[in-house]
């Protein structure tokens, strides 16, 4: 039987559709307009591949202005997004803080769905787009609003601190949100000596080690960070004896106990930029060290990372498509928008006080 072997990959298909409406040639003017971006990513993107990325970056940046759009990108986005088209980059807290301030009428969220929902909660009157709404999160998928209501009934009067990696419906039945960068401060700030901290069991356990409060948690975990083990860290230490090893607090406590520093994605970036170790392993999502490497000379970044398949659903092709078509628009049920927004707002206001 004859088999067709020239079927296009999804990216090739997307490019073919985009090429109908956009000039995706690597012209001299595109090369010139994107040369500063190439300087930043050239260690990560081979020169031979640049002619595929540059026209998309050029068109996205052009269309962004035309559509009065701003691109918010998480630290786990690929270097071509992070350095090429993002207006604002950061960890979850920074993205929420910046989303609350943007002046453009359209926000394109390059990250996962809960991040886009958070931007929508803070900007109900603006259009918030996510290039692929299937970009989920194992933590957000681990808990429902009904689960939280049941926990509240089980522990009456105990405040609920919810990680931003949750749906708007879960945030709506929450007292205050937190991110990995302010979790400890928020747990310490809420009233009482017991706190419900959901849904990340590891962030909760890691926070519990630093507070005298009793923490009740949920069995959620990040599929990217839960797989790291103390054995992995021991092997990294053996392979790279002079390297510093840093990790995200979504890793299990035995991993956190074995590393030199643990912090949010922005915390890790700051740590590398200020400590400037000669060699470092970032035990987190792989794009982190790719992105920070081009901004940090004299530091050798060694691999010890996993890929988040949800973050990687976002690419230059679907960002351009999203801007072009105004899809996929993120909406939040009007019945929950106010209480969900209030939980995020309390976190942002709290973090402002701490500045």
Contact positions toward ligand SF4, by CB under 6 A?
A: 112, 137-139, 165, 222-224, 250, 285, 308, 310-311
Considering beta carbons, is residue 200 or 317 the nearer one to ligand 13P? 200
Instruction: Work out what residue 322 binds among ligand SF4, ligand 13P, none; the CB cut-off runs from 5 to 8 Å by kind.
Output: none
Name the minimum Å distance from CB 250 to ligand 13P.
5
Binding site for ligand 13P (CB under 6 A): 75, 91-92, 165, 179-180, 222, 248, 250, 264-265
Q: Which does 91 bind (CB under 5 to 8 A by kind): ligand SF4, ligand 13P, none?
A: ligand 13P
Pick from ligand SF4, ligand 13P, none: which does 310 bind, CB < 5 to 8 A by kind?
Answer: ligand SF4
Question: Least distance from C-beta 225 to ligand 13P, angstroms?
Answer: 6
Name the minimum Å distance from CB 200 to ligand SF4.
Answer: 8
Given ligand SF4, ligand 13P, none, residue 351, with its beta carbon under 5 to 8 Å by kind, binds none
In contact, 304 and 244? CB cutoff 8 Å: no
Shortest distance (Å) from residue 205 CB to ligand SF4: 15
Map the chain to HEC letters.
CCCCCCCCCHHHHHHHHHHHHCCCCCCHHHHHHCHHHHHHHCCCCCHHHHHHHHHHHHHHHHHHHHCCEEEEEECCCCHHHHCCCCCEEECHHHHHHHHCCCCCCEEEEECCHHHHHHHHHHCCCCEEECCCCCCCCCCHHHCCHHHHHHHHHHCCCCCEEEECCCCHHHHCCCCEEECCCCHHHHHHHCCCCEEEEECEHHHHHHHHCCCCCEEECCCECCCCCCCCCHHHHHHHHHHCCCCEEEECCCCCHHHHHHCCEECCHHHHHHHHHHHCCCEEEEECECHHHHHHHCCCCCCEEECCCECCCCHHHCCHHHHHHHHHHCCCECCCCHHHHHHHHHHHHHHHHHHHHCC
Task: Name the minimum Å distance from CB 15 to ligand SF4.
Answer: 26
Please, what is the minimum distance in Å from the beta carbon of residue 287 to ligand SF4?
A: 10
**From ligand SF4, ligand 13P, none, which one binds at residue 174 (CB under 5 to 8 Å depending on kind)?**
none
The C-alpha atoms of residue 314 and residue 258 are separated, in whole angstroms, by 32
Q: Return the number of the residue (63 or 128) whose C-beta is nearest ligand 13P.
A: 128
If the CB atoms of residues 51 and 185 are measured against ligand 13P, the closer one turns out to be: 185
Indicate which of ligand 13P, ligand SF4, none lies near residue 223 (CB less than 5 to 8 Å, by partner kind).
ligand SF4
Q: Which is nearer to ligand 13P, 91 or 98 (CB)?
A: 91
179's contact among ligand SF4, ligand 13P, none, with CB below 5 to 8 A by partner kind, is ligand 13P
CB of 307 to ligand SF4, least distance (A): 9
Q: Taking the complex as a whole, how short is the minimal distance between the CB of residue 155 and ligand 13P, in angstroms?
A: 26
**Residue 75 touches which member of ligand 13P, ligand SF4, none, C-beta under 5-8 Å by kind:** ligand 13P
What span, in angstroms and rounded, lies between the C-alpha atoms of 237 and 212?
A: 31
- The answer to whether 92 touches 180, Cβ cutoff 8 Å, is yes
């Amino acid at each position: 039987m004859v088999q067709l072997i020239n079927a296009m990959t999804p990216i090739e298909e997307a490019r073919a559709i985009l090429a109908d409406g956009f000039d995706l040639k690597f012209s001299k003017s595109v090369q010139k307009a994107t040369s500063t971006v190439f300087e930043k990513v050239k260690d990560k993107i081979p020169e031979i591949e640049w002619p595929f990325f540059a026209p998309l970056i050029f068109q996205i940046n052009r269309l962004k202005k035309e559509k009065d759009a701003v691109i918010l990108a998480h630290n786990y986005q690929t270097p071509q997004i992070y350095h090429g088209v993002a207006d604002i980059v950061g960890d979850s807290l920074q993205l929420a803080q910046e989303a609350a301030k943007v002046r453009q009428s359209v926000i394109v969220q390059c990250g996962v769905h809960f991040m886009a929902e958070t931007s929508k909660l803070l900007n109900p009157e603006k259009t918030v787009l996510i290039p692929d709404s299937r970009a989920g999160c194992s933590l957000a998928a681990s808990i429902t609003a009904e689960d939280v209501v049941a926990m509240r009934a089980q522990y009456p009067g105990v405040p609920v601190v919810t990680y931003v990696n949750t749906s708007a419906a879960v945030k709506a039945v929450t007292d205050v949100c937190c991110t990995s960068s302010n979790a400890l401060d928020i747990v310490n700030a809420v009233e009482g000596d017991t706190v419900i901290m959901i849904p990340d069991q590891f962030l909760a356990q890691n926070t519990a080690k630093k507070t005298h409060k009793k923490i009740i948690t949920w069995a959620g975990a990040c599929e990217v960070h839960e797989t790291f083990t103390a054995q992995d860290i021991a092997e990294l230490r053996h392979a790279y004896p002079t390297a510093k090893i840093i990790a995200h607090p979504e890793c299990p406590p035995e991993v956190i106990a074995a590393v030199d520093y643990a912090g949010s994605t922005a915390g890790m970036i700051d740590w590398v930029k200020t400590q400037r170790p000669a060699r470092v392993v970032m035990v987190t999502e792989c794009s982190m060290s790719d992105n920070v490497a081009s901004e940090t000379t004299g530091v050798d970044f060694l691999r010890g990372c996993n890929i988040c398949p949800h973050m990687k659903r976002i690419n230059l092709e679907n960002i351009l498509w999203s801007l072009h078509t105004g899809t996929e628009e993120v909406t939040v049920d009007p019945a929950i928008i106010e209480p969900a927004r209030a939980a995020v707002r309390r976190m942002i206001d709290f973090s402002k006080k701490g500045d």
